[in-house]
Structure 1
Amino acid sequence: MADIEGFVRSMPKCELHLHIEGTLEPELKFRLAERNGVALPYRTVDEARAGYDFHDLSSFLVGYYQGMSVLVTEPDFYELAYAYFEKAAAQGVEYAEIFFDPQGHTSRGVEFGTVVRGLRRAQLDARRMLGLHTQLIMCFLRDFQAEYAMATLLESLPYRDWIIGVGLDSDERGNPPAKFAAVFARARAEGYLLTMHCDVDQENSIGHIRQCLHEIGVDRIDHGVNILEDPALVDEVRRRRLGLTICPVSNRFVTDGTKAAELGRLLDAGVLVSVNSDDPAYFTAYVTENLLTVQRELNLGRDQMITLQRNAIESSWAPPAIRRQILDKLAALNS
């Protein structure tokens, strides 16, 4: 067990499902709150962590959006992102695709440019000082109107070179992918790659996955383990080599378990499943802890852990040189 744990900790990693606002650790949250004069409902860091008592997606989102209130200035977003980049680099992450939620900020008066400039500066510094390559994915909040998403898309266009793709997250109830079909069609026309959350065990989960594949034409699906309810869709994503970015530890907070068994079935079926950390500050598990959770529950060996990282790279939107670099390092582990 010690040998496989050490192997997992040391192997090069790729992370594809990481909400940068979900990396806001309580210590930084309190520091930014004091700097920006924002009142928090907790008196101490320990109280804040104790308050992370989530039992479903909706209860998690309440705390998630409350936490965003401390992010006000460009330096705030820089500090948020760079803190994650340092943690990721220390865990062996060599490439990461980062979700950010601009509407969670513009809806409370923070300018779009303030958000993206802070994140971009942190990306450049992480590449220079940590050797970590990252790309940004702009997510729309599905519980807002499609018109607001379209306006946000248009607002992003001056920063198009800084953003690789668009996604869809937040409360899935009553907010199917088809609601945003026109927004995603325009995003595709502007050159963005497309992904969407299909959260675990939501109402009409399989219908939403079907919409992502057949109406939206996504390049990847986030979460998505409910695809097992329809073997024809499993065959389709395997044939099309579309990735599913699965987040085991966060699953345990919002549904009845990690869904590691379902991940294992998809892995055995040849689907491009990867393991990611989602909102690690709230679920107290970064990518290494998520990988170790899956390894322990499924008793996976070295070859299977390498396969999970190869899956991540294959389903990533990484530049060819970065992709080749990490694949070569993974190949060397078996030499």
Structure 2
Amino acid sequence: MNAVPWFDIKAVPKAELHVHVEGTLEPGMLLDFARRNDVAIPYKSMADVLAAYRFCDLQSFLEIYWAGLTVLRTERDFYELTLAYLSRVRQDNVVHAEIYITPSDHTERGVPFEAVMNGISAAYADARSRLDITGGMIPCVRRHKDVDEAFAAIEMARPWQGRILALGLGGPEKGYPPSPFVDVFAQARALGWKTTAHAGEEGPSDYVAEAIDRLHVDRIDHGVQCEADPELMRRIAEKDIPLTVCPLSNVALKVFPSLEEHNLRRLLRAGICVTINSDDPAYFGGHVNENFIRSTEALSLTEDEQLTLADNSLRAAFMDEDRRRSNRNVIGEMRPVGLTAGSPQ
């Protein structure tokens, strides 16, 4: 029998650590921006857009995702896109959100980098004052491009250094290991940024190990393929390296045949700091709470496991310590009497 949570997941404070702002572009907004910016897209109606949101793997998703980028042109677009996302996830009781942006996806289209950064920064400032949600940006460099592009992205981001939380590594994994970006990530750390890397989604467990051992990342995005290497799993648990797992995304992109076959619960029970995130919610059919709810139903997650997943997100976040502590205390008060984080039920 599937677990039925004794609490409403909306009541649980949580952080979202793995979401691409471009992937929050809902179909209606895509059509609106296309009209406003006079951008020709191959979709004439909502039905056309929804029909296009069918994928067989990461590459097929990225082709549609990149097409959607063409409607994002102005500072106003990035402001409205980001504020809409932050407003939506605040309804899920997300108290802190860290969004990925891929600078080169926009600058190579002729969009000024200032438009991207200023629009997103203004949305965060307004969301902090209006919605009491914190967070920031993680510029993501593209692994399938030359490292010179990655160094250029860092240089472009320097004027906003105080608003940037970390450097990320993204793009299609197959055939693109993390190791060429060793010097890029060393430079990011020298600037005082944290680091993350997409690894072990469709790529092998070796890519996860490379990201940890050579890029010295603070977090691994996805990381689910680490299960193929028990020794690597043990090291991840011992080093307390968080995995920002995206269950609905993993199923949509055929990383797992179904949510019932996802390894999230096995990773959690192996002592790994697993977190739940949405990745690209406009494309994959669910924000954070939907990922929690459907994972709970499919994997029979216990109440304590759900609370641990939420608590892990706060532990793994690049956030203010006082804010982290106060929200973790709320979760602690929600646990049934006699249970502590990770206790068996």
Which TM-score bucket, shorter chain as reference? over 0.9
Match of 1:284 in 2: 285
Match of 2:225 in 1: 226
**Shift in Å, 1:268:** 0.6
Rounded to whole Å, the distance in 2 between the matches of 1:128 and 1:253 is 35
Match of 1:209 in 2: 208
TM-score between the two structures when normalised by the length of structure 2: 0.93
Q: Is the Cα–Cα contact under 8 Å of residues 277 and 291 in structure 2 kept in the other structure?
A: yes
**Shift in Å, 1:63:** 0.6
Q: Which has the higher helix share?
A: 1
Deviating beyond 4 angstroms after TM superposition, the runs of 4 or more aligned structure 1 residues are none
**Shift in Å, 1:71:** 0.6
Matches within 5 A, 1:261-300: 261-300=262-301
Match of 1:183 in 2: 184
Matches within 5 A, 1:71-150: 71-150=72-151
Q: Is the Cα–Cα contact under 8 Å of residues 246 and 279 in structure 2 kept in the other structure?
A: yes
Match of 1:167 in 2: 168
Q: Is the Cα–Cα contact under 8 Å of residues 272 and 311 in structure 1 kept in the other structure?
A: yes
Q: Is the Cα–Cα contact under 8 Å of residues 251 and 259 in structure 1 kept in the other structure?
A: no
Q: Is the Cα–Cα contact under 8 Å of residues 13 and 94 in structure 1 kept in the other structure?
A: yes
Rounded to whole Å, the distance in 1 between the matches of 2:151 and 2:37 is 30
**Shift in Å, 1:49:** 1.1
Q: Is the Cα–Cα contact under 8 Å of residues 200 and 207 in structure 2 kept in the other structure?
A: no
**Shift in Å, 1:199:** 4.2
Match of 1:237 in 2: 236
5+ unaligned residues in a row in structure 1: which ranges? none
Rounded to whole Å, the distance in 2 between the matches of 1:285 and 1:36 is 27
**Shift in Å, 1:211:** 0.6
**Shift in Å, 1:9:** 3.0
- With 275-284 and 231-240 compared, the bigger mean Cα shift is at 231-240
Report the CA distance shift for 1:114/1:260 in structure 2 as closer, same or farther (over 3 A). Answer: farther
Q: Is the Cα–Cα contact under 8 Å of residues 142 and 168 in structure 1 kept in the other structure?
A: yes
**Shift in Å, 1:27:** 0.7
Q: Is the Cα–Cα contact under 8 Å of residues 83 and 124 in structure 2 kept in the other structure?
A: yes
Report the CA distance shift for 1:229/1:246 in structure 2 as closer, same or farther (over 3 A). Answer: same
Q: Is the Cα–Cα contact under 8 Å of residues 137 and 164 in structure 2 kept in the other structure?
A: yes
> Residue by residue, what CA displacement relative to the aligned partner does 1:144-190 show, whole Å, maximum 9, x if unpaired?
21101111111111110010101011111222101211111111111
Rounded to whole Å, the distance in 2 between the matches of 1:147 and 1:259 is 41
Report the CA distance shift for 1:237/1:259 in structure 2 as closer, same or farther (over 3 A). Answer: farther
Rounded to whole Å, the distance in 1 between the matches of 2:54 and 2:19 is 20
Match of 1:60 in 2: 61
**Shift in Å, 1:257:** 3.0
Q: Which amino acid aligns with 1:159?
A: W
Rounded to whole Å, the distance in 1 between the matches of 2:289 and 2:97 is 13
- With 76-85 and 319-328 compared, the bigger mean Cα shift is at 319-328
Rounded to whole Å, the distance in 2 between the matches of 1:80 and 1:189 is 31
- With 116-125 and 92-101 compared, the bigger mean Cα shift is at 92-101
Q: Which amino acid aligns with 1:309?
A: A
TM-score between the two structures when normalised by the length of structure 1: 0.96
**Shift in Å, 1:315:** 1.4
Rounded to whole Å, the distance in 2 between the matches of 1:149 and 1:303 is 41
> Residue by residue, what CA displacement relative to the aligned partner does 1:86-126 show, whole Å, maximum 9, x if unpaired?
11011111111111111110111111111011000000111
Report the CA distance shift for 1:318/1:193 in structure 2 as closer, same or farther (over 3 A). Answer: same
Report the CA distance shift for 1:5/1:33 in structure 2 as closer, same or farther (over 3 A). Answer: farther
**Shift in Å, 1:142:** 1.4
Q: Is the Cα–Cα contact under 8 Å of residues 241 and 315 in structure 1 kept in the other structure?
A: no
Q: Is the Cα–Cα contact under 8 Å of residues 174 and 202 in structure 2 kept in the other structure?
A: no
Rounded to whole Å, the distance in 1 between the matches of 2:249 and 2:174 is 18
> Residue by residue, what CA displacement relative to the aligned partner does 1:239-272 show, whole Å, maximum 9, x if unpaired?
1111000000011111233476411111111100
Q: Which amino acid aligns with 1:18?
A: V
User: What SS does the aligned partner of 1:216 have?
Assistant: coil
Rounded to whole Å, the distance in 2 between the matches of 1:265 and 1:160 is 38
Q: Is the Cα–Cα contact under 8 Å of residues 143 and 175 in structure 1 kept in the other structure?
A: yes
Match of 1:311 in 2: 312
**Shift in Å, 1:289:** 0.7
Q: Which amino acid aligns with 2:232?
A: L
How many residues align? The count is 333
Q: Is the Cα–Cα contact under 8 Å of residues 220 and 242 in structure 1 kept in the other structure?
A: yes
Match of 2:21 in 1: 20
Rounded to whole Å, the distance in 2 between the matches of 1:9 and 1:151 is 40
